[in-house]
């Protein structure tokens, strides 16, 4: 492996001496090569030195590298520069060297992963936890060499997106026309992190489930993470939303006999949905790994997470604000990686409730990162008098949207008995 590492470094150094542009070093870094790929101390130190010089705008050659190493405290002998240079091959071998480096690194990572699995089994860890961890690491290994789009292809794709026929099927409608009308391209789009936030009792879970129903009714596949309720509770609400029947009536034995047929028809419809529910996944890394695994198996069109503040972050020894920022960042990256909308529910602090006003983005509990990362933010809320009167509607505020219509407000009917949400008669 060390010979391969030396050959790659020597080939890069020889090429840079000839063309004076650091082009091969840049290509290697874009291909995913990093310091971790070099197992030998001297080759890793040499790679780090070359990258440091490049970051300073210095063109690589034996003199600049030799001078840099003389100033450092890396215990690397400067005459290694000439030795590495002698090990370099022709540029024709460059692509093969990179491929071999990536393959070698992947193999070593997989070898370590097999040992991790063995240790976890010995420690008696549950299979679900092991599988989730393994899946996450496999995703990391498989993404070591991301494809790089050329500027030409990016320009062409953008031109087609602007002038061509829009594929609206990738944009998931909420089923509430007044909200769909103001969302960019009339729905939640691929790669978007869409935040829905409210105080407790204002219907954020009901909104999510109404959106889930509408998504599945349009033959789309969706994944719901609900960290607050069990799958049975969720399904009762789904039955109510779809059938417009109050499930409590059936549980209490008060539902009319003829309504049972409606409920049976509802269960048959729901069974045919491409709907996946996970109610026992709480850790951020498990959520990410599960989402990626489900996307590979089922080609998901959207992901819903209810809700942000209940997620257990990967980093424990940092402030809660930093933890929520980590969650927000990872959710945005998940949306981009899978090219689907991720709808993240969140809580709002009490300030808007005390002031009897619409929430604003700074009211998002525990983190300003959600404001930054989200592509769209919608708040659900009620005034104090509306809550006291138990009004059958909630107000919504579109506080942020990267594309499309900006700030606007409206109302939607919210029938708590059935959890159904429908369009209100008019805008505010």
Q: What residues does 396 pair with on adjacent strands?
A: 380, 410
Yes or no: say if 399 and 360 are a contact pair by the CB < 8 Å rule.
yes
CA 325 – CA 304 distance, rounded (Å):
18
Residue 20 has pLDDT above 80, yes or no: no
Question: How distant is the alpha carbon of residue 399 from its chain centre?
Answer: 21
CA 409 – CA 379 distance, rounded (Å):
9
427 confidence band (pLDDT: 50, 70, 90): very low
Contacts of 39 by beta carbon, 8 Å cutoff, 6+ apart: 1, 2, 5, 108
HEC profile of the chain:
CHHHHHHHHHHHHHHHHHHCCCHHHHHHHHCCCCHHHCCCHHHHHHHHHHHHHHHCCCCCCHHHHHHHHHHCCCCCCCCHHHHHHHCCCCHHHHHHHHHHHHHHHHHHHHHHHHHHHHHHHHCCCCHHHHHHHHHHHHHHHHCCCCCCCCHHHHHHHHHHHHHCCCCHHHCECCCCHHHHHHCHHHCECCCCEEEEEECCCCCHHHHHHHHHHHHHHCCCCEEEEECCCCHHHHHHHHHHHHHCCCHHHHHCCCCCHHHHHHHHHHHHHHHCCCEEEECCCCEHHHHHHHHHHHHHHHCCCEEEEECHHHCECCCCCCCHHHHHHHHHHHHHHHHHHHCCCEEEEEEECCHHHHHCCCCCHHHECCCCHHHHHCCEEEEEECCHHHHHCCCCEEEEEEEEECCCCCCEEEEEEEECCCCEEEECCCCC
Residue 368 has pLDDT above 90, yes or no: no
CA 275 – CA 223 distance, rounded (Å):
6
Six-digit token string for 238: 């789904």
pLDDT tens digit sequence for 174-200: 999 999 999 999 999 999 999 999 998
CA 122 – CA 134 distance, rounded (Å):
15
Nearest to 339 by CA among 303, 382, 313: 303
Q: Please tell me the least confidently modeled range out of 41-50, 177-186, 270-279.
A: 41-50
pLDDT tens digit sequence for 61-88: 778 887 887 776 666 666 677 777 777 7
pLDDT tens digit sequence for 383-415: 999 998 988 899 999 999 998 888 999 999 999
- Provide φ and ψ at 75, rounded to 5°: 60, 20
144 confidence band (pLDDT: 50, 70, 90): low
Alpha-carbon dihedral 161, 296, 341, 290, rounded to 10 degrees = -160
380 confidence band (pLDDT: 50, 70, 90): very high
Six-digit token string for 294: 């489900």
pLDDT tens digit sequence for 296-318: 889 999 999 988 889 988 877 88
Quick check: pTM over 0.75?
A: no
CA 228 – CA 120 distance, rounded (Å):
28
The predicted pLDDT at position 428 comes to 43
Q: What is the mean pLDDT of residues 338-348?
A: 94
Q: What is the mean pLDDT of residues 136-158?
A: 67
**Stated length of the chain:** 428
């Amino acid at each position: 492996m060390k010979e391969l590492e030396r050959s790659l470094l020597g080939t890069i150094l020889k090429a840079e001496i000839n063309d004076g542009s650091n082009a091969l070093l840049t290509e290697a870094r874009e291909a995913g090569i990093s310091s971790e790929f070099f197992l030998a101390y001297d080759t890793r130190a040499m790679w780090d030195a070359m990258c440091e010089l490049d970051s300073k705008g210095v063109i690589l050659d034996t003199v600049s590298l030799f001078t840099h190493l003389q100033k450092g405290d890396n215990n690397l002998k400067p005459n290694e520069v000439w030795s590495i240079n002698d090990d370099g091959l022709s540029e024709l071998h460059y692509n093969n060297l990179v491929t071999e480096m990536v393959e070698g690194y992947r193999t070593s990572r997989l070898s370590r992963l097999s040992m991790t699995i063995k240790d976890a089994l010995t420690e008696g860890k549950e299979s679900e936890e092991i599988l989730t961890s393994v899946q996450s690491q496999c995703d990391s290994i498989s993404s070591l060499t991301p494809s790089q789009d050329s500027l030409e292809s990016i320009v062409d794709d953008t031109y087609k997106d602007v002038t061509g026929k829009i594929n609206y099927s990738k944009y998931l409608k909420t089923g509430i026309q007044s909200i769909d009308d103001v969302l960019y391209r009339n729905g939640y789009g691929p790669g978007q992190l869409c935040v829905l936030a409210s105080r407790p009792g204002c219907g954020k879970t009901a909104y999510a489930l109404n959106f889930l129903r509408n998504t599945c009714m349009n033959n789309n596949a969706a994944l719901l993470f609900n960290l607050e309720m069990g799958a049975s509770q969720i399904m009762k609400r789904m039955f109510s939303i779809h059938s417009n029947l109050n499930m409590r009536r059936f549980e209490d034995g008060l539902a009319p006999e003829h309504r049972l047929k409606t409920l049976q028809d509802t269960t048959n419809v729901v069974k045919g949905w491409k709907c996946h529910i996970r109610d026992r996944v709480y850790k951020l890394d498990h959520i990410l790994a599960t989402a990626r695994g489900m996307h590979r198996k089922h080609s998901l069109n959207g992901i819903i997470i209810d809700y942000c503040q209940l997620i257990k972050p990967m980093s424990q020894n940092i402030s809660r604000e930093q933890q929520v920022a980590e969650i927000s960042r990872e959710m945005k990256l998940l949306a981009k990686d899978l090219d689907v909308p991720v709808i993240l529910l969140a809580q709002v602090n009490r300030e808007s409730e005390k002031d009897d006003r619409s929430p604003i983005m700074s009211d998002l509990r525990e983190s300003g990162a959600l404001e930054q990362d989200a592509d769209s933010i919608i708040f659900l809320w009620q005034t104090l008098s509306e809550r006291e009167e138990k009004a059958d509607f909630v107000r919504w505020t579109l506080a942020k949207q990267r594309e499309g219509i900006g700030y606007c407000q409206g109302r939607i009917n919210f029938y708590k008995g059935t959890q159904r949400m429908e369009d209100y008669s008019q805008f505010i």
